[in-house]
Amino acid sequence: MAIEQAHPSLPMTLEQLHRRLAEIGFSGPVSAEHVSFVLSHVDPTKFLYALRAAGKDARARTWLQKLFLRASELVSNPATPSGPLPPEHQVSCPQPAGEQSAPDGATGTGQSPALLADTTFVVADCEATGLDLAADRAIEAAAVLLYPSGDIELTMHTLIDPGIPIPATSSAIHHLTDRDVIGASKLAAVQPTISALGTHFAAHTPDLDAALLDLRDKTWLCTHRLSLHLWPEAPGHSNQVLRYWLDLDVTLPPGLHPHRAAADAIVTAYLLKRELRLLRERRPDLRTVESVIEFAARPAELVYIPFRSHRGMKWSEADESFLVWVVNRNFSPDIHYTAELAIRRLQDG
């Protein structure tokens, strides 16, 4: 099988780059076209520096994540110019010359690391016209505060005028239509209110929520990825499946239902509360927000095979030929990691 080089200026394959970006929390697409776009706008030396430093330097990690989010938004736009990114798409770049990576636990910003025990998380959720970050828009947003005490408070919940029609396929999920958002505020009026709630955000789909709510500058913790590490044996890892599988004692205000922003944000807050409690028991070494984000971003070992031909079978029951087939395909870092571990165990006897 041919190995695809990520880019002529990078000493790695596309798969290696994909895995590295996944390790630092980016779960979006990473194609040769995306990489070429990024490196047509930034110095490859700075890019490689950031890639090496991202494990410990939050500035480098955020820079890389923003670059590839911009690539996802702009790579399909033939009008995008080469050279420097337009001002609205520029992101600050960490400087390699003379800089040192932040020490373990440091944020890379000169500030002390945020301790989990002292952190209030802003758990955010939004509903949208669709899932295309380049074309779709938020139509509803909610934010819930999870305090260090464990108390949960629905802080804001609002409809948003997306400025574009809401497709029937999306309305079928959240039951919001064009009529519902008549007279609602634009995102530009809502975003500052959400942003002012805090620094440390959490969501079950943070890449999507951060992009649609224009909150990419925040620190985001992914409750979905945490759940993969903490409960790999769960029958599913959506927030609603976990709500019932974990028997979370969720209290929803009257009139709220799943696939509405407030209800989903509340469920995710209860899920995060359980995750943080379990982390304190299992991983007392993870004391800072940054360390938990990095832990969640690592590839997770899965229990069940998701493919139709083997659905329900455990990875530990698969034969080596199937596992090798998986490793040689373009699947997610979690699937690759799990298959590689299974092969190693088979070979070790």
HSE value, Cβ hemisphere, 13 Å, CA-based, for 340: 12
Task: Write down the pTM of the prediction.
Answer: 0.69
Q: Which of 78-82, 106-110, 236-240 has the lowest mean pLDDT?
A: 106-110
Instruction: Report d(CA 51, CA 101) in Å as an integer.
Output: 11
Instruction: Report d(CA 313, CA 95) in Å as an integer.
Output: 48
Q: Which of 14-23, 82-91, 225-234 has the lowest mean pLDDT?
A: 82-91
Boundaries of every domain in the chain:
1-113, 117-297, 308-348
Instruction: Report d(CA 84, CA 78) in Å as an integer.
Output: 15
pLDDT of residue 263: 95
pLDDT of residue 11: 61
Residues 123-148 have a mean pLDDT of 94
pLDDT of residue 295: 93
Q: Who has greater pLDDT, 10 or 111? A: 10
Contact by Cβ (8 Å): 314, 304:
yes
pLDDT of residue 339: 92
CA distances (Å), 87 to each of 33, 83, 91, 322, in order?
A: 22, 12, 9, 48
pLDDT in tens, 263-276: 999 999 999 999 99
CA Rg, the chain, in Å?
21
Q: Who has greater pLDDT, 280 or 69? A: 280
CA–centroid distance for 96 within its chain: 26
Task: Give the pLDDT band (50/70/90) at residue 108.
Answer: very low
Classified as helix, coil or strand, 6 is coil
With a cut of 60, say whether residue 94 has pLDDT above it.
no
Instruction: Report d(CA 256, CA 268) in Å as an integer.
Output: 14
Residues 6+ apart with CB under 8 A from 93: 42, 46, 50, 63
pLDDT of residue 280: 95
CA distances (Å), 188 to each of 159, 183, 215, in order?
A: 13, 14, 11
With a cut of 50, say whether residue 342 has pLDDT above it.
yes
Residue with tokens 């395909």: 329
pLDDT in tens, 219-254: 999 999 999 999 999 999 999 999 999 999 998 888
Task: Give the pLDDT band (50/70/90) at residue 45.
Answer: low
pLDDT of residue 129: 95
pLDDT of residue 31: 85
pLDDT of residue 111: 58
pLDDT of residue 133: 84
pLDDT of residue 160: 97
Contact by Cβ (8 Å): 158, 185:
yes
Residues 6+ apart with CB under 8 A from 231: 237, 242, 245, 246
Contact by Cβ (8 Å): 278, 232:
no
Average pLDDT, the chain: 84
Instruction: Report d(CA 107, CA 4) in Å as an integer.
Output: 34
Residues 6+ apart with CB under 8 A from 343: 320, 323, 324, 327
pLDDT of residue 39: 79
Task: Give the pLDDT band (50/70/90) at residue 91.
Answer: very low
Residues forming beta bridges with residue 15, ordered by sequence position: none
Contact by Cβ (8 Å): 109, 59:
yes
Contact by Cβ (8 Å): 202, 219:
no
pLDDT of residue 19: 81
Question: Among the CATH numbers 3.30.420.10, 1.10.1040.10, 3.30.1330.10, 3.40.50.720, which is that of 117-297?
Answer: 3.30.420.10
pLDDT in tens, 137-177: 999 999 999 999 999 999 999 999 999 999 999 999 999 99
Task: Give the pLDDT band (50/70/90) at residue 180.
Answer: very high
Q: Which of 30-44, 65-79, 144-158, 310-324 has the lowest mean pLDDT?
A: 65-79
